[in-house]
Amino acid sequence: MNKFAMAAVTTVAFLAVPAKADETRVEARGGVVWADGQEEAIIGIAAGHDFHLDESFFVGIEGSADKVLADGADVVFGATARAGFIVAEDLKLFVAAGYSFNDSDAVHAGGGLQYNVSEQVYLKTEYRRYFDGFAGINSAVAGVGIRF
């Protein structure tokens, strides 16, 4: 799928969701990516928006940019949808799926948790498995972010 078409679809989806918005968030993250017995460090950023559908369920969208810290590695951009449960006032568990792209394109899926440390600051962990163009690649990241 064309990178620009995916960005357009993500933007339209964001605008089409009802204005029952609960939080906008930005984060910095780091972790590891692995495949075929090799590991590399990864750093990245993400921004997203979650909509609380009721007191225990939410859906959201996220855009991300992640960089494998290996020589010559490109930045991988992603558009992700997530849905999950609000387990406690400060804890969300979620599943996520989306599309990643750089020189190759791939579908990704995974899940994670987000813990609100304060009214604005949160910690997050997430696992992703990549398919298609990045087949067999996994990543695990931990991040810190700010909610608006």
Query: Residues 6 or more apart from 56 whose CB is under 8 A from it?
Result: 85, 86
Domain harbouring 106, CATH code: 2.40.160.20
Q: What is the pLDDT along the chain (148 residues), one digit of tens a residue?
A: 555 555 555 554 544 444 444 899 999 999 999 999 999 999 999 999 999 999 999 999 999 999 999 888 889 999 999 999 999 989 999 999 999 998 889 999 999 999 999 999 999 999 999 998 787 899 999 999 999 9
Q: Is the pTM of this model over 0.85?
A: no
Query: How many separate domains does the chain show?
Result: 1
Give the pair of three-digit tokens for residue 24.
């906008």
Residue matched to tokens 């959201």 = 60
Four-CA torsion 45, 9, 148, 146, nearest 10 degrees? -10
Domain hosting residue 121, numbered range? 3-147
Residue matched to tokens 């960089």 = 67
Let me know: does 116 contact 3? Beta carbons within 8 Å. no
